[in-house]
Structure 1
Amino acid sequence: MFAVTKYTVSFCCSCKRKIKMKVFVFLAAVAVATNALSVHQHWANFKVRYNKNYESSSEESVRFAIFNENVKRVNEHNAKYAAGKTTYTLAINEFADLTKEEFRARLGISTSNVPKIKTTRHVFPENLTVEDTMDWRQKGAVLGVKNQGTCGSCWSFSATGALEGQNIILNKVTTSLSEQQLVDCSSKYGNLGCNGGLMDSAFAYIKDYGIQSESSYPYKGVQGKCVANSKLAVLWTKGFKDVAPTEDALKLAVGSIGPISIGVNADPLQLYGSGIIDDPTCDDQIDHGVLAIGYGTENGVDYWLIKNSWGTAWGEAGYYRMRRNANQCGITTLVSYPLI
């Protein structure tokens, strides 16, 4: 997640919460109502699938009431989707026993901010044009979706995703990079391990120390002692560039450079199922680090294609789409990419 002030930014994607991010969708992608099973049956299935255990019967009663309201919310929303009144579906997932406020609090601002490292902005060539549609997966520049688990390390996954993309595009080298090294070792650059961080700070660390492969420094999902070995580093950065905070600039960056690290407001993601998120109420209170890997248009709706770090069972096989050219969810607030 991010806390954004005029001068500082802090990422803490899942602080102090148990997030397995293994999402089971009870609803079909095109809005199948849950009345095939009673809400009590759904509740029983939900508790088993997500290993939900509550401290008391009273707490479970509260959670069941919230779950029931979320089931109604999902069904009502998906009925609108079926009627063509919205562009995305909702689904019952691990967060269905939380209110919006509780989910937002779990994505909450870290008490310690990560100082924003100064850098220059990328300057695009005059008259630069890019393709109308882009999906870097089709060009082989996006590796498989990963899962950050219980650790608030979204910032590290966003950073490695951008760096993996540049390594593929510029060096023709396909190597999964180590988020765990960033979690364990980049605290001197302001990052807070599983309690938050910032992609730019990760890029700055990698400039000085390099980064190992995922295989040589595997992900554990908890912050531990730094055991990085510079002899095993497979890539270094030369720094990083920020991108101007406009959607036009972000399109030029994604279209001409590759996958780009971004920060977003994750509020609409709580019960996301599929489709193009269009939420005019989603503001620029950034709390999650992700990777913009493309853009396009579907049924006349422009969208961004975004890679998440919550596993392949969440959303659209680990990805989601969000309306483009609508200035939603702070998507242009923090945009950067590594130089290699």
Structure 2
Amino acid sequence: MQLLIIFAAILVAVNATTDEEHWLEFQRTENKAYSDPSEKVRRFGVFQNNLRIIEKHNARYHQGLESYFLGVTSFADWTDEEYLDLLNFQDDEIPALNESFHVFAEDLKVADSKDWVVEGAVLPVQNQGKCQSCWAFSVNGALEGQNVIVNKVRIPLSEQQLVDCFHKTCSKGSQRNKALDYIKSNGLQADSSYPYVAKYTHCQYDSKEVILRMKGYKRLSPNEEELKKAVGTLGPISVGINARDLKLYQGGIFNPANCPTNTNHAVLAVGYGTSASGMKYWLLKNTYGVKWGEDGYLRLIRDADNKCGVATRMYYAFLK
């Protein structure tokens, strides 16, 4: 009995050492700093709790019971409540008066797979930071894609212009259709002339610096087949998803047992395909930086009753 107690004590010490090593590596790679020792201790406790979640889930993944795995992301020292607050975004489900729907022909055939990243129509992954600006990256991503496809120009557009001059706050994400209305009226500057700083400052819009104007936009009819036709023929599409369980996502095809269809995060649909095991997926560009997910991207299960609301509210913009 005493030997079992000693063994258990050693096992606890080993786990604690492993947690500490993970913790030190996390602080180094994420450049984390804490305001005081008590805050650091609290964050370490949160980090350890997230490590246990990762371990438990990944054990199921290695048993073939899950199609995706978790890892230590930049949110590994965040509580669920803090992460959900970052997702404080929800599109208005009532269409605007000037919002029109686009419906593709029923017999339209598209390729079995599509990847606009490979085709060069998707610009590098960015990090929204603590600003609730996912909506700005999502609509700009759709426009950047059109700029490549139509004009053969790869220029990052300014999300900060939308935060400062349209939404005028970094909290409570904006509705994408209203952001597109603003862009239609004012155009967009390049990120190089109005760079992203992940916080609200004040509007510095300069019409002389505008490098892209759009003719209009349309909302897609809400079903996955329409999304496939849009991504397969038009380019990257602005979509919303429910991202409540993506805090620690690191790879694989995201297919949680329960994922609501109400959207709380905006991303960019940039492709679709089928895995080697036969699982269909959407390829989505996120705004959590390249260390999150699959180099900043998420693969979400496709044709699964609108899992996570990916087809609930979708927009594409056109330049001509």
**Structure 1 residues 236 and 278, CA, compared in 2 at 3 Å: closer, same or farther?**
same
* Structure 1 runs (4+) greater than 6 angstroms displaced: 112-115
SS of residue paired to 2:191? coil
Task: Tell me the CA shift for residue 97 of structure 1.
Answer: 2.9
Amino acid at match of 2:290: T
SS of residue paired to 2:69? strand
- Which residue number in structure 1 is paired with residue 53 of structure 2? 73
- Which residue number in structure 1 is paired with residue 9 of structure 2? none
SS of residue paired to 2:211? coil
**Structure 1 residues 215 and 44, CA, compared in 2 at 3 Å: closer, same or farther?**
closer
- Which residue number in structure 1 is paired with residue 262 of structure 2? 285
Structure 2: distance between partners of 1:65 and 1:227: 42
Structure 2: distance between partners of 1:126 and 1:83: 40
Task: Tell me the CA shift for residue 319 of structure 1.
Answer: 0.6
- Which residue number in structure 2 is paired with residue 328 of structure 1? 307
Task: Tell me the CA shift for residue 94 of structure 1.
Answer: 2.6
- Which residue number in structure 1 is paired with residue 138 of structure 2? 158
Structure 1: distance between partners of 2:71 and 2:278: 24
- Which residue number in structure 2 is paired with residue 249 of structure 1? 226
Given candidates 136, 139, 157, the residue that maps to 2:116 is 136
- Which residue number in structure 2 is paired with residue 309 of structure 1? 287
- Which residue number in structure 2 is paired with residue 203 of structure 1? 180
Q: What does 1:22-33 correspond to in 2, within 5 Å?
A: none
Of Structure 1 and Structure 2, the greater helix share is in 2
Task: Tell me the CA shift for residue 285 of structure 1.
Answer: 2.8
Unpaired runs of 5+ residues, structure 1, are 1-33
Structure 1, residues 57-104: CA drift from partner, whole Å, max 9, x if none? Answer: 3x5555434322321221122122222221111001232233434422
- Which residue number in structure 2 is paired with residue 25 of structure 1? none
Q: What does 1:37-48 correspond to in 2, within 5 Å?
A: 38-48=18-28
SS of residue paired to 1:269? coil
Task: Tell me the CA shift for residue 183 of structure 1.
Answer: 1.1
Q: What does 1:176-215 correspond to in 2, within 5 Å?
A: 176-187=156-167, 192-215=169-192
Task: Tell me the CA shift for residue 339 of structure 1.
Answer: 2.0
What is the aligned-residue identity percentage?
45
Given candidates 28, 53, 58, the residue that maps to 2:34 is 53
**Structure 1 residues 224 and 105, CA, compared in 2 at 3 Å: closer, same or farther?**
closer
Amino acid at match of 2:213: W
The answer to whether the 8 A contact 1:307-1:318 is kept is yes
Task: Tell me the CA shift for residue 56 of structure 1.
Answer: 5.8
Amino acid at match of 1:154: C
The answer to whether the 8 A contact 2:186-2:207 is kept is yes
Structure 1, residues 197-217: CA drift from partner, whole Å, max 9, x if none? Answer: 122222111111111111122
**Structure 1 residues 138 and 226, CA, compared in 2 at 3 Å: closer, same or farther?**
same
SS of residue paired to 2:59? helix
Unpaired runs of 5+ residues, structure 2, are 1-13
Structure 1: distance between partners of 2:313 and 2:106: 23
Structure 1: distance between partners of 2:25 and 2:288: 21
The answer to whether the 8 A contact 2:89-2:173 is kept is no
The answer to whether the 8 A contact 1:292-1:306 is kept is yes
- Which residue number in structure 1 is paired with residue 83 of structure 2? 103
SS of residue paired to 2:245? helix
Structure 2: distance between partners of 1:60 and 1:36: 16
TM-score after normalising by structure 1: 0.81
**Structure 1 residues 291 and 72, CA, compared in 2 at 3 Å: closer, same or farther?**
same
**Structure 1 residues 63 and 217, CA, compared in 2 at 3 Å: closer, same or farther?**
closer
Task: Tell me the CA shift for residue 115 of structure 1.
Answer: 8.3
Structure 1: distance between partners of 2:70 and 2:222: 29
Given candidates 64, 76, 84, the residue that maps to 2:64 is 84
- Give RMSD over aligned pairs: 2.5
Structure 1, residues 140-176: CA drift from partner, whole Å, max 9, x if none? Answer: 1111111222221111111110001111112222221
- Which residue number in structure 2 is paired with residue 117 of structure 1? 96
Larger Rg: 2
Amino acid at match of 1:200: N
1:148 and 2:133 equivalent? no
TM-score after normalising by structure 2: 0.86
